[in-house]
Protein backbone atom coordinates (compact mmCIF):
# COMPACT_ATOMS: atom_id res chain seq x y z
CA UNK A 1 0.00 0.00 0.00
CA UNK A 2 1.11 3.50 -0.74
CA UNK A 3 2.09 5.50 2.33
CA UNK A 4 1.62 9.24 2.62
CA UNK A 5 4.57 11.61 2.51
CA UNK A 6 3.64 12.41 6.08
CA UNK A 7 4.02 8.79 7.19
CA UNK A 8 7.27 8.43 5.28
CA UNK A 9 8.72 11.50 6.94
CA UNK A 10 8.58 9.99 10.44
CA UNK A 11 11.69 8.43 11.88
CA UNK A 12 11.19 5.86 14.62
CA UNK A 13 12.15 7.18 18.06
CA UNK A 14 15.90 6.41 18.25
CA UNK A 15 15.91 6.14 22.03
CA UNK A 16 13.27 3.43 21.94
CA UNK A 17 15.20 1.65 19.15
CA UNK A 18 18.41 1.39 21.22
CA UNK A 19 16.50 0.14 24.25
CA UNK A 20 14.81 -2.48 22.07
CA UNK A 21 18.17 -3.69 20.69
CA UNK A 22 19.73 -3.86 24.15
CA UNK A 23 16.68 -5.76 25.39
CA UNK A 24 17.00 -8.27 22.53
CA UNK A 25 20.64 -8.87 23.48
CA UNK A 26 19.62 -9.32 27.11
CA UNK A 27 16.92 -11.80 26.08
CA UNK A 28 19.65 -13.80 24.32
CA UNK A 29 21.43 -14.01 27.65
CA UNK A 30 24.04 -11.32 26.88
CA UNK A 31 24.88 -9.24 29.94
CA UNK A 32 24.37 -5.74 28.48
CA UNK A 33 24.53 -2.63 30.66
CA UNK A 34 21.76 -0.39 29.40
CA UNK A 35 22.22 3.37 29.65
CA UNK A 36 19.44 3.97 27.17
CA UNK A 37 16.46 4.15 29.51
CA UNK A 38 14.28 7.21 29.27
CA UNK A 39 12.35 6.34 32.39
CA UNK A 40 12.99 6.00 36.13
CA UNK A 41 14.08 2.51 37.20
CA UNK A 42 11.87 2.69 40.32
CA UNK A 43 8.49 1.06 40.64
CA UNK A 44 5.33 3.22 40.67
CA UNK A 45 4.67 4.01 44.36
CA UNK A 46 2.14 1.75 46.12
CA UNK A 47 -0.30 4.51 47.09
CA UNK A 48 -0.68 5.32 43.37
CA UNK A 49 -1.19 1.69 42.42
CA UNK A 50 -3.80 1.34 45.17
CA UNK A 51 -5.72 4.34 43.83
CA UNK A 52 -5.83 2.66 40.41
CA UNK A 53 -7.01 -0.63 41.88
CA UNK A 54 -9.72 1.22 43.76
CA UNK A 55 -10.79 2.95 40.53
CA UNK A 56 -11.09 -0.42 38.76
CA UNK A 57 -12.98 -2.06 41.62
CA UNK A 58 -15.42 0.82 41.94
CA UNK A 59 -16.19 0.64 38.23
CA UNK A 60 -14.46 3.86 37.20
CA UNK A 61 -13.67 2.19 33.90
CA UNK A 62 -15.66 4.08 31.31
CA UNK A 63 -15.14 7.09 29.04
CA UNK A 64 -14.39 10.34 30.82
CA UNK A 65 -14.78 13.85 29.40
CA UNK A 66 -12.27 14.34 26.54
CA UNK A 67 -10.40 17.00 28.46
CA UNK A 68 -10.03 14.76 31.53
CA UNK A 69 -11.84 14.57 34.87
CA UNK A 70 -12.40 17.69 37.01
CA UNK A 71 -10.82 16.02 40.02
CA UNK A 72 -7.51 15.66 38.18
CA UNK A 73 -7.76 19.13 36.66
CA UNK A 74 -8.22 20.51 40.16
CA UNK A 75 -5.20 18.55 41.44
CA UNK A 76 -3.15 19.99 38.54
CA UNK A 77 -4.40 23.53 39.25
CA UNK A 78 -3.47 23.02 42.90
CA UNK A 79 0.01 21.81 41.91
CA UNK A 80 0.62 24.93 39.81
CA UNK A 81 -0.63 27.18 42.58
CA UNK A 82 1.46 25.56 45.31
CA UNK A 83 4.65 24.70 43.42
CA UNK A 84 4.83 27.33 40.70
CA UNK A 85 2.80 30.21 42.11
CA UNK A 86 0.56 30.12 39.03
CA UNK A 87 -3.21 30.42 38.82
CA UNK A 88 -5.25 28.61 36.17
CA UNK A 89 -8.95 27.84 35.68
CA UNK A 90 -10.33 24.47 34.66
CA UNK A 91 -10.83 25.63 31.06
CA UNK A 92 -7.08 26.26 30.86
CA UNK A 93 -6.16 22.63 31.55
CA UNK A 94 -6.28 19.56 29.34
CA UNK A 95 -5.10 16.08 30.23
CA UNK A 96 -3.74 13.92 27.41
CA UNK A 97 -2.22 10.45 26.95
CA UNK A 98 1.25 11.42 28.17
CA UNK A 99 3.27 14.62 27.74
CA UNK A 100 4.37 13.33 24.33
CA UNK A 101 0.72 13.29 23.26
CA UNK A 102 0.29 16.79 24.72
CA UNK A 103 3.18 18.06 22.60
CA UNK A 104 1.86 16.29 19.52
CA UNK A 105 -1.56 17.89 20.02
CA UNK A 106 -0.03 21.33 20.56
CA UNK A 107 1.85 21.02 17.26
CA UNK A 108 -1.34 19.92 15.50
CA UNK A 109 -3.37 22.89 16.69
CA UNK A 110 -0.66 25.57 16.39
CA UNK A 111 1.48 24.80 13.34
CA UNK A 112 0.92 24.46 9.62
CA UNK A 113 2.81 24.75 6.32
CA UNK A 114 5.22 27.63 6.37
CA UNK A 115 5.41 27.95 10.14
CA UNK A 116 8.82 27.84 11.75
CA UNK A 117 9.42 26.52 15.25
CA UNK A 118 12.67 27.26 17.04
CA UNK A 119 14.17 24.24 18.76
CA UNK A 120 17.42 24.69 20.72
CA UNK A 121 19.78 21.76 20.09
CA UNK A 122 20.50 19.30 21.64
CA UNK A 123 16.76 18.64 21.80
CA UNK A 124 14.38 15.91 22.88
CA UNK A 125 13.96 13.51 19.97
CA UNK A 126 10.23 13.95 19.33
CA UNK A 127 10.06 17.75 18.97
CA UNK A 128 11.28 17.98 15.35
CA UNK A 129 9.19 15.09 14.06
CA UNK A 130 6.06 16.41 15.74
CA UNK A 131 6.56 19.82 14.14
CA UNK A 132 7.14 18.20 10.73
CA UNK A 133 4.03 16.02 11.11
CA UNK A 134 1.99 19.17 11.63
CA UNK A 135 3.46 20.61 8.41
CA UNK A 136 5.78 23.06 10.16
CA UNK A 137 9.54 23.50 9.87
CA UNK A 138 11.87 22.95 12.82
CA UNK A 139 14.62 25.57 13.05
CA UNK A 140 17.50 24.24 15.10
CA UNK A 141 19.63 26.62 17.11
CA UNK A 142 22.78 24.97 18.45
CA UNK A 143 23.64 25.70 22.07
CA UNK A 144 27.02 25.51 23.76
CA UNK A 145 28.13 23.39 26.65
CA UNK A 146 29.84 26.43 28.23
CA UNK A 147 26.42 28.15 28.28
CA UNK A 148 24.91 25.18 30.10
CA UNK A 149 23.35 24.03 26.81
CA UNK A 150 20.96 26.99 27.02
CA UNK A 151 19.99 29.05 23.99
CA UNK A 152 21.35 32.59 24.30
CA UNK A 153 19.12 35.61 23.71
CA UNK A 154 21.35 36.66 20.85
CA UNK A 155 21.12 33.31 19.05
CA UNK A 156 17.37 33.21 19.65
CA UNK A 157 16.89 36.65 18.09
CA UNK A 158 19.00 35.72 15.08
CA UNK A 159 16.85 32.67 14.37
CA UNK A 160 13.55 34.58 14.33
CA UNK A 161 11.97 35.30 10.94
CA UNK A 162 8.51 36.57 9.92
CA UNK A 163 7.44 32.91 9.83
CA UNK A 164 8.51 31.99 13.36
CA UNK A 165 5.57 30.92 15.49
CA UNK A 166 7.05 29.38 18.60
CA UNK A 167 10.04 28.23 20.60
CA UNK A 168 10.26 24.98 22.54
CA UNK A 169 12.14 25.22 25.84
CA UNK A 170 12.87 22.08 27.84
CA UNK A 171 14.22 22.76 31.31
CA UNK A 172 15.66 20.70 32.89
CA UNK A 173 16.68 19.19 29.59
CA UNK A 174 16.63 15.74 28.14
CA UNK A 175 19.34 14.93 26.93
CA UNK A 176 21.80 17.45 28.45
CA UNK A 177 20.57 17.87 32.02
CA UNK A 178 21.08 21.61 31.55
CA UNK A 179 18.51 23.93 33.11
CA UNK A 180 17.43 27.57 32.83
CA UNK A 181 17.30 29.77 35.92
CA UNK A 182 14.89 32.72 36.20
CA UNK A 183 17.29 35.18 34.58
CA UNK A 184 17.81 33.04 31.47
CA UNK A 185 14.11 32.28 31.17
CA UNK A 186 13.23 35.94 31.44
CA UNK A 187 15.55 36.84 28.59
CA UNK A 188 13.92 34.21 26.36
CA UNK A 189 10.43 35.18 27.53
CA UNK A 190 10.92 38.88 26.74
CA UNK A 191 12.22 38.13 23.24
CA UNK A 192 9.28 35.81 22.58
CA UNK A 193 6.86 38.50 23.79
CA UNK A 194 8.37 41.17 21.59
CA UNK A 195 8.11 38.89 18.55
CA UNK A 196 4.60 37.54 19.18
CA UNK A 197 5.81 33.99 19.64
CA UNK A 198 4.31 31.16 21.66
CA UNK A 199 6.54 29.49 24.23
CA UNK A 200 6.11 25.78 24.68
CA UNK A 201 7.72 25.02 28.03
CA UNK A 202 8.32 21.33 28.65
CA UNK A 203 8.87 21.10 32.40
CA UNK A 204 8.51 17.35 32.82
CA UNK A 205 11.78 17.12 34.83
CA UNK A 206 11.01 20.04 37.16
CA UNK A 207 11.26 17.95 40.33
CA UNK A 208 14.52 16.26 39.34
CA UNK A 209 17.00 18.99 40.18
CA UNK A 210 20.30 18.93 42.06
CA UNK A 211 22.94 21.00 43.85
CA UNK A 212 20.25 23.34 45.16
CA UNK A 213 19.05 24.34 41.69
CA UNK A 214 15.58 25.88 41.94
CA UNK A 215 13.21 25.18 39.07
CA UNK A 216 11.23 28.22 37.94
CA UNK A 217 8.28 27.81 35.61
CA UNK A 218 8.51 29.93 32.47
CA UNK A 219 4.90 31.07 32.94
CA UNK A 220 5.57 32.40 36.44
CA UNK A 221 7.91 35.18 35.25
CA UNK A 222 5.17 37.70 34.46
CA UNK A 223 1.48 37.85 33.52
CA UNK A 224 2.44 38.76 29.96
CA UNK A 225 4.80 35.81 29.59
CA UNK A 226 2.19 33.55 31.17
CA UNK A 227 -0.29 34.53 28.43
CA UNK A 228 2.00 33.31 25.63
CA UNK A 229 3.27 30.19 27.42
CA UNK A 230 1.94 26.67 27.33
CA UNK A 231 3.35 24.73 30.27
CA UNK A 232 3.66 21.01 29.56
CA UNK A 233 4.13 18.48 32.32
CA UNK A 234 3.07 14.98 33.33
CA UNK A 235 3.34 12.24 35.91
CA UNK A 236 5.62 9.89 33.93
CA UNK A 237 9.01 10.97 35.23
CA UNK A 238 8.19 12.44 38.66
CA UNK A 239 6.16 9.46 39.84
CA UNK A 240 7.73 6.74 37.75
CA UNK A 241 4.47 6.32 35.82
CA UNK A 242 5.66 6.14 32.22
CA UNK A 243 3.31 3.31 31.31
CA UNK A 244 0.21 5.02 32.67
CA UNK A 245 0.22 7.66 29.92
CA UNK A 246 -0.89 10.84 31.65
CA UNK A 247 0.42 14.28 30.68
CA UNK A 248 -1.11 17.72 30.81
CA UNK A 249 -0.79 21.28 29.58
CA UNK A 250 -2.02 24.58 30.99
CA UNK A 251 -2.36 27.90 29.22
CA UNK A 252 -4.44 29.92 26.78
CA UNK A 253 -8.03 28.70 26.87
CA UNK A 254 -8.50 28.83 23.09
CA UNK A 255 -5.50 26.60 22.52
CA UNK A 256 -6.70 24.27 25.27
CA UNK A 257 -10.17 24.03 23.77
CA UNK A 258 -8.71 23.28 20.32
CA UNK A 259 -6.70 20.44 21.87
CA UNK A 260 -9.83 19.13 23.60
CA UNK A 261 -11.65 19.09 20.24
CA UNK A 262 -8.75 17.31 18.56
CA UNK A 263 -8.59 14.80 21.38
CA UNK A 264 -12.35 14.20 21.17
CA UNK A 265 -11.81 13.02 17.58
CA UNK A 266 -8.64 11.03 18.23
CA UNK A 267 -8.05 9.35 21.60
CA UNK A 268 -11.37 10.45 23.21
CA UNK A 269 -9.83 10.69 26.67
CA UNK A 270 -6.80 9.58 28.64
CA UNK A 271 -7.36 6.32 30.54
CA UNK A 272 -9.93 6.73 33.33
CA UNK A 273 -7.98 4.53 35.74
CA UNK A 274 -4.70 6.36 35.12
CA UNK A 275 -6.43 9.67 35.75
CA UNK A 276 -7.56 8.51 39.20
CA UNK A 277 -4.05 7.23 39.92
CA UNK A 278 -2.63 10.60 38.87
CA UNK A 279 -4.88 12.42 41.35
CA UNK A 280 -3.25 10.33 44.07
CA UNK A 281 0.21 10.97 42.58
CA UNK A 282 -0.26 14.74 42.70
CA UNK A 283 -2.12 14.95 46.01
CA UNK A 284 -0.74 12.01 47.97
CA UNK A 285 2.50 11.39 49.85
CA UNK A 286 5.48 12.91 48.00
CA UNK A 287 8.23 11.16 49.95
CA UNK A 288 8.90 8.61 47.20
CA UNK A 289 9.77 11.47 44.85
CA UNK A 290 12.37 12.74 47.33
CA UNK A 291 13.77 9.23 47.71
CA UNK A 292 14.07 8.87 43.93
CA UNK A 293 15.71 12.26 43.44
CA UNK A 294 18.20 11.50 46.20
CA UNK A 295 19.17 8.22 44.53
CA UNK A 296 19.51 9.95 41.14
CA UNK A 297 21.70 12.60 42.72
CA UNK A 298 24.15 10.05 44.15
CA UNK A 299 24.40 8.31 40.80
CA UNK A 300 24.77 11.62 38.98
CA UNK A 301 27.76 12.62 41.11
CA UNK A 302 29.40 9.25 40.62
CA UNK A 303 28.87 9.00 36.87
CA UNK A 304 30.03 12.58 36.18
CA UNK A 305 33.21 12.01 38.18
CA UNK A 306 33.97 8.69 36.54
CA UNK A 307 33.37 9.98 33.00
CA UNK A 308 35.53 13.04 33.56
CA UNK A 309 38.36 10.80 34.74
CA UNK A 310 38.45 8.99 31.38
CA UNK A 311 41.10 10.49 29.10
CA UNK A 312 39.57 12.19 26.07
CA UNK A 313 36.09 12.39 27.62
CA UNK A 314 34.54 15.43 29.28
CA UNK A 315 31.18 15.50 30.99
CA UNK A 316 28.99 18.50 31.79
CA UNK A 317 27.67 18.47 35.35
CA UNK A 318 23.88 18.44 34.91
CA UNK A 319 21.51 20.43 37.12
CA UNK A 320 18.51 18.26 36.39
CA UNK A 321 16.77 15.23 34.81
CA UNK A 322 18.52 11.83 34.91
CA UNK A 323 20.93 11.94 31.98
CA UNK A 324 24.55 12.81 31.43
CA UNK A 325 25.69 14.07 28.06
CA UNK A 326 29.45 13.57 27.85
CA UNK A 327 31.53 14.85 24.95
CA UNK A 328 33.46 12.03 23.24
CA UNK A 329 34.54 13.95 20.16
CA UNK A 330 38.22 14.09 21.19
CA UNK A 331 38.25 10.35 20.52
CA UNK A 332 36.93 10.71 16.97
CA UNK A 333 39.55 9.62 14.48
CA UNK A 334 40.89 6.97 16.86
CA UNK A 335 40.71 3.29 16.02
CA UNK A 336 39.69 0.05 17.64
CA UNK A 337 41.64 -2.54 15.68
CA UNK A 338 40.78 -1.47 12.11
CA UNK A 339 37.54 0.34 12.88
CA UNK A 340 37.75 4.14 12.96
CA UNK A 341 35.37 6.09 15.18
CA UNK A 342 34.04 9.07 13.29
CA UNK A 343 30.70 9.77 14.92
CA UNK A 344 28.47 9.20 17.91
CA UNK A 345 26.73 6.42 15.95
CA UNK A 346 30.07 4.63 15.41
CA UNK A 347 30.62 4.89 19.15
CA UNK A 348 27.16 3.56 19.95
CA UNK A 349 27.75 0.58 17.69
CA UNK A 350 31.21 -0.26 19.08
CA UNK A 351 30.09 0.22 22.68
CA UNK A 352 27.27 -2.24 22.11
CA UNK A 353 29.93 -4.77 21.10
CA UNK A 354 31.49 -4.37 24.56
CA UNK A 355 27.99 -4.73 26.02
CA UNK A 356 27.18 -1.12 26.81
CA UNK A 357 24.06 0.51 25.36
CA UNK A 358 24.03 4.30 25.00
CA UNK A 359 22.17 6.71 22.72
CA UNK A 360 24.30 8.56 20.14
CA UNK A 361 24.16 12.36 20.41
CA UNK A 362 23.25 12.66 16.75
CA UNK A 363 19.74 11.53 17.73
CA UNK A 364 19.45 14.73 19.75
CA UNK A 365 21.10 16.96 17.19
CA UNK A 366 24.74 16.97 18.36
CA UNK A 367 27.17 14.36 17.09
CA UNK A 368 29.98 15.27 19.51
CA UNK A 369 28.14 13.72 22.44
CA UNK A 370 26.47 10.56 23.67
CA UNK A 371 23.64 10.26 26.18
CA UNK A 372 23.75 8.00 29.19
CA UNK A 373 20.73 7.65 31.44
CA UNK A 374 21.53 7.05 35.09
CA UNK A 375 18.06 5.70 35.74
CA UNK A 376 19.71 2.38 36.45
CA UNK A 377 21.28 0.83 39.55
CA UNK A 378 24.61 1.97 40.96
CA UNK A 379 26.02 -1.53 40.29
CA UNK A 380 25.06 -1.25 36.63
CA UNK A 381 26.56 2.22 36.41
CA UNK A 382 29.86 1.01 37.88
CA UNK A 383 30.00 -2.00 35.59
CA UNK A 384 29.06 0.05 32.53
CA UNK A 385 31.55 2.84 33.15
CA UNK A 386 34.30 0.26 33.80
CA UNK A 387 33.54 -1.19 30.37
CA UNK A 388 33.58 2.23 28.70
CA UNK A 389 36.88 3.06 30.39
CA UNK A 390 38.42 -0.21 29.26
CA UNK A 391 37.09 0.35 25.73
CA UNK A 392 38.58 3.86 25.54
CA UNK A 393 41.89 2.51 26.84
CA UNK A 394 42.08 0.14 23.86
CA UNK A 395 41.70 2.88 21.24
CA UNK A 396 44.74 3.90 19.27
Ligand X SMILES: *Cc1c(COP(=O)(O)O)cnc(C)c1O
User: Which chain residues interact with ligand X by CB under 6 A?
Assistant: 38, 98-100, 124, 170, 174, 202, 204, 234, 236-237, 242, 247
- Chain residue at closest Cβ approach to ligand X: 98
Of residues 143 and 236, the one with the C-beta less far from ligand X: 236
CB of 350 to ligand X, least distance (A): 26
Separation of alpha carbons 331 and 315, rounded Å: 14
Shortest Å, Cβ 224 to ligand X: 25
Q: How many CA atoms lie within 13 A of 125 on its CB side?
A: 16
- CB nearer ligand X, residue 76 or residue 392: 76
Q: Which is nearer to ligand X, 67 or 329 (CB)?
A: 67
CA nearest neighbour of 372 among 82, 70, 35: 35
In the complex, the smallest distance separating the C-beta of residue 356 from ligand X, rounded to whole angstroms, is 21
Find out whether 301 and 95 touch, Cβ atoms under 8 Å: no
Minimum distance of ligand X from residue 196's CB (angstroms):
25
List the helix and strand counts (H, then E) for the chain.
Answer: 14, 14
Which helix (DSSP H) or strand (DSSP E) does residue 339 occupy? strand 339-340
- Residue 247 or residue 326: which is nearer to ligand X going by CB? 247
Length of the chain in residues, anyone?
A: 396
In the complex with ligand X, the residue whose CB is nearer, 13 or 317, is 13
Rounded Cα gap, residues 24 and 209, in angstroms: 32
**Cα-Cα-Cα-Cα dihedral sign, residues 369, 121, 224, 157:** positive
Tell me how far, at minimum, the Cβ of 335 lies from ligand X, in Å. 34
Q: Which is nearer to ligand X, 136 or 172 (CB)?
A: 172
| Residue 149 near residue 319, CB atoms below 8 Å | no
CB of residue 256 to ligand X, shortest distance in Å: 17
Amino acid sequence: MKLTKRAQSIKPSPTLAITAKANRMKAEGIDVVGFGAGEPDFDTPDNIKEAAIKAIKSGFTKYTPSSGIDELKDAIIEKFRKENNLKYERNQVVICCGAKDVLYNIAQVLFEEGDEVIIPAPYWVSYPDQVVLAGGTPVFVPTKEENGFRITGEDFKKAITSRTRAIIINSPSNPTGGAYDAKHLEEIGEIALKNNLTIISDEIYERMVYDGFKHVSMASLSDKIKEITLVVNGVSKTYSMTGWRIGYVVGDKNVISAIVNLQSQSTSNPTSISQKASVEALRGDQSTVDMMVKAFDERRKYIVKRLNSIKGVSCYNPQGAFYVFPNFSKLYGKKLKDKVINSSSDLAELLLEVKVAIVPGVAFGDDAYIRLSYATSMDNIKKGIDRIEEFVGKLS
